Structure 1
Amino acid sequence: MPSTLDRQISATRATKTPLNRSQITGFWGAWAGWTLDGMDSFIYALVLAPALTELLPRSGYEATPANIGLAGSILFALFLVGWGLSFIWGPLADRFGRTKVLAATIFTFAIFTGLAATANNVWELGFYRFCAGVGIGGEWALAGTYVAEAWPEDRRKMGAGYLQTGYYAGFFLAAALNYTIGATFGWRAMFLVGLFPVVVSIMVLLRVKETDKWERAETAHPHVKHESSLKAIFNAQYRKRTIVAAVLLTVAIIGLWAGAVYEPSAVVQLATKAGMDKHDAARMASIATGLLSIGTIVGCLALPPMAEKIGRRKTLAVYFVGMAASIALAFGWAFYLPNGLVPFIALLVVLGFFGGNFALFSLWLPEQFETRVRATAFAFCTSVGRFFGAIVNFGIGAMVLNMKTLGVPIAITAIAFLIGLAVIPLAPETKGQELPN
């Protein structure tokens, strides 16, 4: 006989609002775009060493490990600046709707990812990565806004977790492509891959119905249609939550990206120290990235139920503590062990799980802002941290160059999460509240 718990679970599932075809299609379109977004973002981390080894001499610089580390940090900082400028997509989506602007962001990052394959020097690569960053940064904000508005109230929270898995599925896809295409055909082929599957995502998104919430807001508030939504998120009603959310996302960005971007290079160094040749070391980096991605996907799926049970603020605090500990241990301890490859990769799985904290923002941010400014607020809060992330990456690059080591500079970024823990109590707790209209 079924237990009481089984009957309760069955009853809960039975009462879930069914999704219609447009909601399902729209979700998979947004998820596919976010997956390709993650793939594009991580392609750079995976091909950093071979790309700069080829392009630095063409740009007048010696391809030493220190120069590769410094140039890699600078180029990634440019990418983050482009991502920071992606807040421009939010006001466009609040003005013209979610789906078409979302498709435009995907088209932008796909085109410039493909063009990166044609780079003849580090300056061209930096420009293409900057432009790709503008597109990539807008995709998360618009995909998160779309799912929050399009899905029924009793499903949207878990939908945020499902959506966020796409980004890390993209990490896994990038690792698989690097293991096969990258290892065989080189770094240029990896960038070219970013051009092809995005066409499917754009076709899906252009055929998806606009969200009812946005259409109702347009009908209900015609007098505010031309009001600046960017200005509105800093009025008395929203100023505090906008600033607090931006700070929390800045902390998450600094911590996760410092670890994730340099993870392949760290694994390659550890694998080489363990006696592997360059080919096997590159493949080990792909395997480690795949494990990191799996850990993060699990973390994304575990987060919404936790947020519903203990609240948004406590959940973020748990994930921030886990991120701080795993980054500090992976890069500050395991990286320096005589045989540190295995413990380092094991800690990457833990780091990946707590890196799922980004799923909380997909769930939490839409709950803090009404429909007419939601996309703008989401885009701004998820973008502004990229500027600070760029500054931190310049600092990391300088530290790597001066200290002649990768581990300690990355481990120091764990301090950012202490700042985040101090700021969390200032954020509004929205547990149990419906999405505002």
Structure 2
Amino acid sequence: MPTTLDRQISATRATKTPLNRSQITGFWGAWAGWTLDGMDSFIYALVLAPALTELLPRSGYAATPANVGLAGSILFALFLVGWGLSFIWGPLADRFGRTKVLAATIFTFAIFTGLAATAHTVWELGIYRFFAGVGIGGEWALAGTYVAEAWPEDRRKMGAGYLQTGYYAGFFLAAALNYTIGAAFGWRVMFLVGLFPVVVSILVLMRVKETDKWERAEAIHPHVKHESSLKAIFNAQYRKRTIVAAVLLTVAIIGLWAGAVYEPSAVIQLATKAGMGKAEAARMASIATGLLSIGTIVGCLALPPMAEKIGRRKTLAVYFIGMAASIALAFGWAFYLPNGLVPFIALLVVLGFFGGNFALFSLWLPEQFETRVRATAFAFCTSVGRFFGAIVNFGIGAMVLNMKTLGVPIALTAIAFLIGLAVIPLAPETKGQELPS
């Protein structure tokens, strides 16, 4: 029989530390920014075909399917390069604080997304997407750093899962907007909707308190203001974990982005082959995106408890195996079936679930670095993979052009996860450890 003391201990363990108003407001500000980030990112995938069909002739190129595919890959690669350059936000956040710089990232991607609605040529659209990428890439690093530092130790792991759902809620929101506003008013209005995050950035700046951990670190280590945090993450203490984390994120980025970005085009092709009209096929792509997003949200929520039970490394291995299998089956098998639309969409839900692996990085990266360099490390590791992702994206575009098919080039990205599985054992296991000061 449990004693009174046993029951009191159990009750204490079951009761989570309550969140104060600042922590709640800060989380929802970060979550809303990350949601609108996801919406902004996926708007491009959804409006890719109509936007380039209009802009290519104005830029002196025929709007053939091959040219649309190649131009789409080039523009997305530019977006990823901009995202890669977003590591600049990390050192700024370590020096000036999380909330101000977080607001600046949201403001940047919102403004340039809105400007994309005014593009008259493919090159103008590419420039606007490049600068939008710079803003979008910084938001995840700063939102993840903020939640890890602001939330109590017994809540921050699940907070990482909650935060990551925002990005895929943004996918769902983009799909819903495309199904309604995009279908009725066109691609330019879809980009105009991206201006809404400006309001969020202002609220973040005005309402959210700076994290206590950052303020304490500033008080204890005032010399850090004059020290390069970017240099610090490559010193003897952090070099290995910085490189390993960057490689693992590169793998995740290559795999998920290849599947997610080309998913609407693949669904449209399959829906058209099934006899659907142009408008109906576009709506089917929106529905498929919504299902992909729901699957990923569930995957994000399932991940923190798994990481607490079996550890960070084993959890990432499970998610990487799931991603490799679902991408290979969806694009390498279902895409080529005579009636492949239904099995392809079913596999997208599975792909989405394991795409929740990004939630692990929101949980794991802050545990590997102390406060004075945490934002820099997070921003660098989440950004560097975009450069390699851009190179891979150029390669995918060339393969699609030469092979005259979308499925096989995307299916081959599953190979990246095999590399990731080999690298995972080199990462530190931080299960059961508190966030470093």
Q: Tell whether the structures are fold-level matches, with TM greater than 0.5.
A: yes
The offset of 1:204, in angstroms, is 3.4
**Is the 8 Å Cα contact of residues 33 and 197 (structure 2) preserved in structure 1?**
no
Contact map agreement 1:264 1:285 (CA 8 A) in 2: yes
Q: Work out whether residues 327 and 411 of structure 1, in 8 Å CA contact, stay in contact via their aligned partners in 2.
A: yes
Can you list the C-alpha shifts for 1:119-152, whole angstroms capped at 9, x where unaligned?
0010000000000000000000000000000000
Deviations 1:154-191 (A, max 9, x none): 00000000000000000000000000000000000000
Structural mapping, 1:162-177, within 5 Å: 162-177=162-177
Provide Cα deviations, 1:294-322, integer angstroms capped at 9, x if missing partner.
Answer: 00000000000000000000000000000
CA contact (8 A) 2:33 2:200 kept: no
Q: Contact between 1:82 and 1:133, CA under 8 Å: does it hold in 2?
A: yes
Cα offset, 1:9, TM superposition = 12
Which digits, 9 at most, give the CA deviation of each residue in 1:85-105, with x for residues without a partner?
000000000000000000000
Task: Tell me if the contact between 1:33 and 1:198 (Cα under 8 Å) persists in the aligned partners.
Answer: no
Instruction: Report Cα offsets for 1:249-276 as digits up to 9, x if no partner.
Output: 0000000000000000000000000000
- Does the 8 Å contact 2:264/2:285 carry over to 1? yes
Residues 106, 202 of structure 1: 8 Å contact kept: no
Distance 1:298 1:6, change over 3 A: farther
Q: How big is each residue's C-alpha offset from its partner over 1:195-234, in whole Å with a ceiling of 9 and x where there is no partner?
A: 1244134313432110000000000011222100000000
Moved more, 12-21 or 159-168: 12-21
Q: Distance in 2 between matches of 1:150 and 1:397?
A: 42
Evaluate the alpha carbon distance shift between residue 66 and residue 12 of structure 1 in structure 2; reply closer, same or farther with a 3 A threshold.
farther
8 Å Cα contact 1:36/1:198 also seen in 2:
no
Q: What percentage of residue pairs aligned between the two structures are identical?
A: 95
Structure 2 distance, partners of 1:421, 1:367, is 21
| Structure 1 residue 8, shift from structure 2 partner | 10
Q: Tell me the secondary structure at the aligned position of residue 298 of structure 2.
A: helix
What SS class does the counterpart of residue 73 from structure 1 fall into? helix
Deviations 1:69-113 (A, max 9, x none): 100000000000000000000000000000000000000000000
The verdict on how the C-alpha distance between 1:8 and 1:165 changes in structure 2, with shifts beyond 3 A counting, is farther
Asked if the contact 2:161/2:359 (under 8 Å) is kept, the reply is yes
**Quick one: distance in 1 between partners of 2:139 and 2:393?**
22
The 3 A distance-change label for structure 1 pair 6 and 353 is farther
Contact between 1:29 and 1:202, CA under 8 Å: does it hold in 2?
Answer: no
Q: Deviations over 1:392-412 (max 9, x none)?
A: 000000000000000000000
CA distance in 1, matches of 2:60, 2:12: 64
Matches of 1:312 and 1:302 in 2, distance apart?
A: 13
After superposition, the Cα gap between the structure-2 partners of 1:305 and 1:235, relative to the gap in structure 1 and judged at 3 Å, is same
2: CA distance between counterparts of 1:200 and 1:221?
31
- Measured in 2, the distance between the counterparts of 1:112 and 1:4 equals 60
* Contact 1:30/1:201 (<8 A) preserved: no
- The residue aligned with 1:185 is 185
Task: Classify 1:392/1:12 alpha carbon distance in 2 versus 1 (closer, same or farther; 3 Å).
Answer: farther
Q: TM-score, normalised by structure 2?
A: 0.97
Relative to structure 1, the CA distance from residue 85 to residue 9 in structure 2 (aligned partners, 3 Å threshold; closer, same or farther) is farther
Secondary structure in structure 2 of the residue aligned to 1:236: coil
Change (3 A) 1:264 1:434: same
Per-residue deviation, residues 344-375 of structure 1 (Å, max 9, x unmatched): 00000000000000000000000000000000
Counterparts of 2:400 and 2:242 in 1: how far apart (Å)? 34
Rounded to whole Å, the distance in 1 between the matches of 2:287 and 2:13 is 36
- Counterparts of 1:74 and 1:324, CA distance in 2: 24
Superposition TM-score, scaled by structure 1 size: 0.97
Q: CA deviation at 1:7?
A: 8.5
Partner of 1:121 in structure 2?
A: 121
CA distance in 2, matches of 1:320, 1:89: 28
| Structure 1 contact 32–201 (Cα < 8 Å) conserved | no
Cα drift, residue 10 of structure 1: 8.1
Q: Report the Cα distance in structure 1 between the residues aligned to 2:184 and 2:8, rounded to whole angstroms.
A: 52
Residues 26 and 205 of structure 1 are in contact (CA less than 8 Å); yes or no, is this contact kept in structure 2?
no
8 Å contact 1:99–1:208 — kept in the other structure? yes
Q: Which moved more, 1:226-235 or 1:204-213?
A: 204-213
Shift of 1:339: 0.3
CA RMSD of aligned residues (A): 2.1
* 8 Å Cα contact 2:107-2:201 kept in structure 1: no
Q: Give the 3 Å change call, closer, same or farther, for CA 197–241 of structure 1 in structure 2.
A: closer
Q: How big is the shift at 1:3?
A: 16
Q: How many residues are matched?
A: 437
Q: Decide whether the 8 Å contact of 1:336 with 1:407 is kept in 2.
A: yes
User: Gapped runs of 5+ residues in structure 1?
Assistant: none
Q: Give how far 1:5 is off.
A: 17
Structure 2 unmatched runs, 5+: none
CA distance in 2, matches of 1:279, 1:423: 44
Say if 1:368 and 1:180 are closer, same or farther in 2 by CA, change over 3 A.
same
Taking a change above 3 Å as real, the CA distance of residues 357 and 12 of structure 1, as seen in their structure-2 partners, is farther
CA distance in 2: counterparts of 1:400 and 1:5, whole angstroms: 66
